[in-house]
A and B are shown apart, each in its own frame.
Chain A
Amino acid sequence: MRIGIGPSAAYDDVPYTRGGTVERSEVGALVRSAVDGDAAAWKAIVEGLGPLVWSVVRAHRLSDADAHEVYQTVWFRFAQHLGRIREPEKTGSWLASTARHECLKVHRNARRLMLTDDPQLLDRVSEDGAPEQSLLEAEEAAAQSERVRRLWQEFEELGERCRQLLRVLIASPPPSYQEVSAALDIAVGSIGPLRQRCLRRLRARLEARGSM
């Protein structure tokens, strides 16, 4: 559905201006419309920022069940606070920061309770990936799929800091640095240099494996 056709169109026109600023500039207005009862505006917010929330949750290595519950909790709380958000244009940061806090609570709780499911998801393929599935099964896509798999594997094996930062950065549409900062509690100014370092480390790993 949103994969395959959707994702590139949204930011093709803004290749390296970080932060999907085109989409984000509308968030404030959408929030105000949603407060006034516009369900379509709400849906647009969810579609625009849902992937960011998902990325933040995924960056924190939760089990699937925890990830799903944190994701829902964040949106329920946002719906509840809708009319009280002080700076609607910073909704992405609000969501990212709320997701982060809930993720940290899961980690605290996990120290008390034994985890039953495995948070490592290296070879997991999405459950509802039907459209991608048929694509991946196609003969000519096999090589590409292998490349994607290897890329993802190298990414998963990066150091924890890099993996976490990149997982948030690769939300689609791309988050702003303010949102990344809220998601990971790191200074906006350090994101660019860290991003550069992490991407180059990833490239070095791929090259070492002969995957580039």
Chain B
Amino acid sequence: MNDTGDTGDGTGFDGPPGDHGADFGDTDFDGADFDDGLLEEELRQAAGVLDPLPSALLQIAVDAYALHDLDARVAELTFDSLVDGIPVRGATDAPRMLTFSAGEVTLDVEVGPQGLLGQVLPPQSARIEVLGGPQTAATLTADDMGRFTADTPLSGPFALRLRAGGDVVVTEWLRA
């Protein structure tokens, strides 16, 4: 209020967007710029106090190094009904459909409130681990037709690790 030059009341800066460039080097502008830096820094410290990265999350990310697996191939997400799907009228609680591909191996997965329904292509029996993080895993088996199911609903981050033949394929991490 005491400095009409840079009260930054919003409207004052709604002029031509490029015009501040001409002010560069002007002392008023430098002063305002300096104040912006201070305010941003003050806000940064406020965030550090009121909304910091929880230490538990920091630790989980540190532990995630264990998920670094050079031997496995990553099956990339090639279809996600949440992003690519065309909403069907009336089908608001349809299961989420996901497709992962790594070379010739494809995994189709349906994630619903009841759990997981999946299909390995080409059809083959396989051992499938449902990963929930660096520590947790549940094991499933795909039958000769490549079908597999899990009765526990997925929650949080997950990935599927598939062992078929001598091959290990891990799906891209997603949030259920």
Contacts and interface: CB of A to CB of B under 8 A. Distances in A.
B27 interface: no
A76 B132 CA distance: 10
B39 A203 contact: yes
Interface of A: 1-4, 7-8, 15-16, 34-35, 39, 42-43, 46-47, 50-51, 53-55, 58, 68-73, 75-84, 102, 105-106, 108-109, 112-113, 121, 124-129, 132, 136, 148-149, 151-152, 155, 166-167, 169-172, 174, 193, 195-197, 199-204, 207
B121 interface: no
Interface stretch (B46-54, B99-107, B122-130, B144-152): B46-54
B169 to A, nearest CB: 12
The 5 closest A-B pairs by CB, nearest first: A200-B8, A75-B61, A76-B173, A54-B53, A170-B44
Interface of B is mostly: helix
B159 A76 contact: yes
Contact of B70 (A83, A102, A171): A83
B157 A73 contact: yes
A87 B48 CA distance: 30
A20 to B, nearest CB: 11
Contact of B61 (A8, A39, A50): A50
Interface string B39-73: 11011111111111111111011101111111000
Contacts of A1: 55
Contacts of B143: none
B172 interface: yes
Interface string B1-15: 100001111101100
- A42, A77, A125: most-surrounded residue (chain B CB, <10 A): A77
